[in-house]
Amino acid sequence: MRAVAYTCDMVHVGGCVIDCRRQTDALAAYAAENNIEIGAWFTDEQTTIDPLERPGIRALLSWKQPYEKVLCERIGVLGASIAALDPFLKELDRIGVILEPAVAWDHLAQLCRRRSRSLPIKPVIAQIPGYRVAKPARLHFDHLLRFML
């Protein structure tokens, strides 16, 4: 099975950062365990709400070599909600490619597994340690004030 892989630095719940290097290591191990050949790696340094706006995602979608899957370490690198993921998933459907997360414990990963019946039902867990990010000295809520006035 041939795939492309996608990574993006991600801040997880509680301020834990899961960086691209750790994701790359986990994806390489996952691919080796599941006999998946990774033909190309794509990465973005920053996340955006719409994954289709990211340069790495645009390059991934325009990749000319044949592939059946897009591997990501966890779905959260692409979006935090089904609404954010939907345009990306529709684009994958259009080109006939499935999205496969290496970590399959959250509702978004299970959604992707349901979309592609060929993926195993049993979750595949790949624990990746994160590291703490210092909290900012001052939190900025100015953008929320407009909803309170």
Q: Which helix (H) or strand (E) holds 32?
A: helix 20-33
Look at residues 40, 43, 52, 46 and name the one whose alpha carbon lies nearest to residue 10: 46
This prediction's pTM: 0.73
Pick the CATH number of 2-148 from 1.10.1060.10, 3.30.110.40, 3.40.50.300, 3.40.50.1390: 3.40.50.1390
- The chain-wide mean pLDDT, for the chain, equals 81
Q: Rounded CA gap, 9 and 25, in Å?
A: 13
What is the domain partition of the chain in residue ranges?
Answer: 2-148
Q: List pLDDT tens digits, range 57-88.
A: 999 999 999 999 999 988 888 887 878 888 99
- Whether pLDDT at 139 is above 90: no
Dig out the tokens for 21 from the structure: 């290097």
pLDDT for position 49: 77
Burial code (b: 16+ CB inside 10 Å, e: under 16) for 102-126 equals bbbeeebbbebbeeeeebeeeebeb
Q: Rounded CA gap, 43 and 72, in Å?
A: 10
Dig out the tokens for 94 from the structure: 């259009």
